[in-house]
Chains A and B, each alone.
Chain A
Amino acid sequence: MFKLLKPHPLLVLISLLVVQLAVLSLQVKDSEGTTLLKKTTLQAISPFLLGAGLVEKILNTVWAEYINLREVRNENEALKDRIQQLILECNRNNALIRQAKQWQSLLELRGQLAFQTKPATIIGRSPSFLSFTIMIDRGTDDGIHKDDPVINADGVVGRVISVFPGTAEVHVLLDSDAAAGSLLSRTQLQGVTNGTGSAFLRLNYVLNQEDVQVGDKVVTSGLDSIYPKDLTIGRVVRTRQGESVFKEIDVLPAVDFNRMEAVLVLVNVRPRI
């Protein structure tokens, strides 16, 4: 044994010293009862443990946040679906709010008007841009007649052109064939407002020398035997001298036809023949 170890005295010394220290460490305990060997060993390996922990943490992060994204993808899809549902719900709610506001305005208007009215919901619009008509959910069963004026809280919408038992077709003032007897409320100048097939109306038959200003309010004159007097049509947005004796006056309708959802039909405005 000694002969085997003889060539390596330093190795033997170090081994023996380590063993002696280990034996000593096993017996010596600190105030917390931890043996010196355990404490020393832990201190020696703690950097490696910390390093291993850090590496594990990094690997977990890389795995969870960069590689294993299947759950995230599924969650993402679910959230996108949910967002779409919420957008639809939000739009529906906004539409309901808008509708409620329109109905509230109509009810307030209905109380102020001296005419008998029938509230109606718009159930259809003409698909062609060449004709501006809407369908409402009131008809002859509700006392609606042909040529009854149709308005909303903002002003004149048009007139009934066809009536059926439960529905009616309304000719919107924007249509190029539609017209209403009008006057400028500031100057009481009379004319006729026609549809142009665009977003604007045209006030005709106002002489070039007459005083017309941008912003002037245009209302119904009540002379056309369709619309009662003083219903708002719109405001003058442009005026210029015409080539003939009449001015060319563009009027922006008071009614937002695109967002209109409910209307009032004025019934029994004039005596029936």
Chain B
Amino acid sequence: MIEVLKIVSITIVAVFVQLLLTKHLEYFYLLDIPLIAVVYFGTYKNRTESCIIGGIIGLIQDSISGLPLGMNGFSKTLLGYVSAAASRRLVLERFGMLLGLMLVISLADSTIKLVLFLAAGLATPPRYPIAMILQALLSTPPGAAAIVGLTKADRWR
């Protein structure tokens, strides 16, 4: 029950913090906080749980961001699975390893969304590739730090 509350809380906080920050500070769209939450769940949940949680987070994100429903849903479902699969093979206690995973996941998220945009025949935002790389670079350090922090908090509890 506590675990469920934790998942719900983190999801809501991630999505709404992202929403509030982007609303007041435009460039905060470069930081994908829900993606950090997805990777975090992937580090300790199994693949099934991770992809389901990722999918739900993605759908919530889509529903409040104005993107077509399923855009983030698809991406985060897949990346939740990948995170969980990677955490079984990688030693994520090493910060460098976690940074690398976060960077790859961020780049993959942007790439998947670009592919979906193109496949759906939607117009991509201007300078999307640059924004894509920037988002990956900017999300990676705080993302990795947040995951380390949340993990330590779990252990402390």
Contact = CB atoms under 8 A, between A and B. Distances in A.
Interface in B54-87: 55, 58-59, 68-71, 73-74, 77-78, 81, 84
Given A27-B68, A28-B122, A21 B74 contact: yes
Interface residues of B, number: 23
Interface string A30-64: 11000010000000000000000000000000000
B48 interface: yes
A73 interface: no
A21 B48 contact: no
B69 A23 contact: yes
Interface in A162-203: none
A9 interface: yes
A6 B48 contact: yes
A10 B52 CA distance: 11
Contact of B51 (A9, A22, A27): A9
A6 B74 CA distance: 20
Contacts, number: 68
Nearest to B46: A6
A253 B125 CA distance: 109
Interface of B: 46-49, 51-52, 55, 58-59, 68-71, 73-74, 77-78, 81, 84, 116, 120-122
Contacts of A79: none
Interface stretch (A12-20, A106-114, A209-217): A12-20
A60 to B, nearest CB: 38
Nearest to A31: B121
A84 B64 CA distance: 85
A70 interface: no
A2 interface: yes
Instruction: Please indicate which of the listed interface residues A17, A24, A25, A31 has the most CB atoms of chain B within 10 Å of its own CB.
Output: A24
Contacts of B51: 9, 12-13, 16
Contacts of B84: 9
A264 B121 CA distance: 99
Contacts of B49: 2, 6
A31 B122 CA distance: 10
A5 interface: yes
A259 interface: no
16 contacts: A2-B49, A2-B52, A5-B48, A9-B81, A9-B84, A13-B51, A13-B81, A20-B74, A22-B70, A23-B70, A23-B73, A24-B70, A25-B70, A27-B68, A28-B122, A30-B121
Interface string A239-252: 00000000000000
